[in-house]
Structures are given as C-alpha cells and as structure tokens.
Amino acid sequence: MLASLGAELIKLRKRPSTWVLGLIWLAVIILLNYVLIYVLLSNAPPPTFPADTPKSQQELMQKQQEQYQEQQLAFLYPEKVVPNLIPGFPNLGAPIVLILGALAVGSEYGWATYKTVLTQRPGRLAVFFGKLLAIGVVLALLVALIFIAGLACGYVIAGLSGGPLGGPPAGGLIRALRAGWLILAVWATFGALLATLLRSTALAVGIGLVYSLGLEGIITNLPIQNQTYKDAIEFLPGRNSTSLVDSFSGQGSTLSQPIDVAQATLVLLAYTAAFVLIAAFIFRRRDVS
C-alpha cells in the first residue's frame, strides 16, 4: 500500500487540476475574505448629514461608523483567523474537494489506466486505499495552506492598520484544523464514491455538485412537519458540517435546530468511513473497464 500511496501522491502532484482547485480556493480566501474587505473598510466614505442635523448627532453617528469599521477590521486580524476561515469549508471547500475526489478516482476510468495498474503487483484494495490515503494527505496540506494564507493576510493587515499581532489560541487552531480536514474528507470521499459507482468523472462531479450546492438545502427546508422526517435530516452531511463549523463562531448556530458538536463529529466520521468502505467494495468486486 505504501508503494501505491507514493505513486498516487506523485500523480496528484503532477495533475494540473489539483493545483488549479487549490489555487481557486486560496485566491477566493485572499481576495474576498481579506483584500476586498480591507479595501472597502479603509476607503469607506464619511457619513453625510442633512444641513439641519445637530452637531452632537453628527459626531455620534460618525463615532458609531468608526466603531463599526474597527470591529469589522478586527475580524481580519490573525487572532480571528479561525472564525473567519472555517465557515468556508462546507460552503466553498466542499464542492472543490468533491471535484478533487471525483477526478482522482474517475479519471482512471476515462484514461483506462486501471487495467495497467491492476496487472502489476499491488492488489485492488492496496491500489484503492493508496489512492484514498493520497487524497487525505492532499486535504491535510490544503487545510494547512488555507490557514497559513489566512494568517499571512491577517498579519499584513494588522501591520498596516496598527492592530494586534497576536495569533489565535493554539488549541482552537488545532481543533479547527482537525474539523476542517474532517469536513473536506467527507466530501472528497463522496466524490470518490460517485466516481467509482458511475465509472465517470463528469457525471460524478455533476451529481455531487447538485447535491452539495442545492439538493440538500431543498430537502432541509421543505415545510414537512413530520417528526421522523425532522429527525432524519439531522443526519445529513451538509447539516452536520455546518453545525461543526458553527461551534467555532462563538455567536450561536446558524441552524434553526442546532446539532451537538459530538454528534456532528461522529456523523461525519461515519459518512467518511461508509463512503470509503462502499467505494472499496464496489472497486474490488466490479470490472474496472
């Protein structure tokens, strides 16, 4: 399996799609989470008042605007990197790694390279688990790069605006790294499962994106009052990913019915294990052509 892992890491490193997907996420974070917000806050026009507005009221409104700008700017500092970046994992990160997982597994069917690989010494399960382990390593590197980029942007902004240069609490950052990897692992293995089941990249990506970006949201927002239905949607992967992310915000859950962090973690672990085992079973039992 180690030989398969090394080979899969080389393939993922040399595939342009791996770099493109990672750079897209990094670019969005740097531009939207930091650069754009900093530029807007730094160049916000002063408030305008009618001619008959009392001077005391003008001063009060101007002070309120300055306080609001300071609060928003403080969210860009390094100590706030976790609540700033972690919400992007189920929103933007999930579709990106779903595509990555589908491409890593499904492209082998399109290129008909599985036949060649499986005629060599490694068995089917060694090849498949080596591929999934390689995806897991790439996800870990991606999570680390996301937070490194966020910290770098935060230090630059703090230096330009004279803000505090203290970093986030080490314990909270480690928890965020673990949670971020787990969320990405669920969606990457989901993409790998779809590609294995359908023996196709395009169809797997299409179905996966339809579910992650739209279908689950429709399911959770249906006006169905049945208690069994309400209990069932509490175990959907997207809903549990959001609940896990909400635990880092410190502002309460964004869901109408919050899910316990322990339950969210266990559900996501169960989904990851199930996707891996089902995909491995299908890969081992079915013809790869």
d(CA 200, CA 271): 21
Question: What amino acid is encoded at 162 in this protein?
Answer: G
The pTM (predicted TM-score) of the whole model is 0.89
d(CA 157, CA 162): 8
69 inside domain? no
Asked if residue 253 has pLDDT above 60, the reply is no
262 inside domain? yes
In this prediction, residues 69-91 reach a mean pLDDT of 88
Q: How confident is the model at residue 216 (pLDDT cuts 50, 70, 90)?
A: confident
Write out the residue range of the structural domain in which residue 269 sits. 2-43+75-285
Model confidence pLDDT, tens digit, residues 91-125: 899 999 999 999 999 888 877 777 777 777 778 88
In this prediction, residues 261-268 reach a mean pLDDT of 92
Domain count, the chain: 1
Where do runs of H (alpha helix) occur along the chain? 2-14, 16-28, 36-42, 55-74, 81-85, 88, 94-111, 114-118, 124-161, 170-198, 202-210, 216-220, 227-233, 237-246, 261-285
110 inside domain? yes
In this prediction, residues 68-89 reach a mean pLDDT of 87
Asked if residue 272 has pLDDT above 90, the reply is yes
Asked if residue 249 has pLDDT above 90, the reply is no
Asked if residue 271 has pLDDT above 80, the reply is yes
Question: What amino acid is encoded at 117 in this protein?
Answer: V
d(CA 122, CA 114): 12
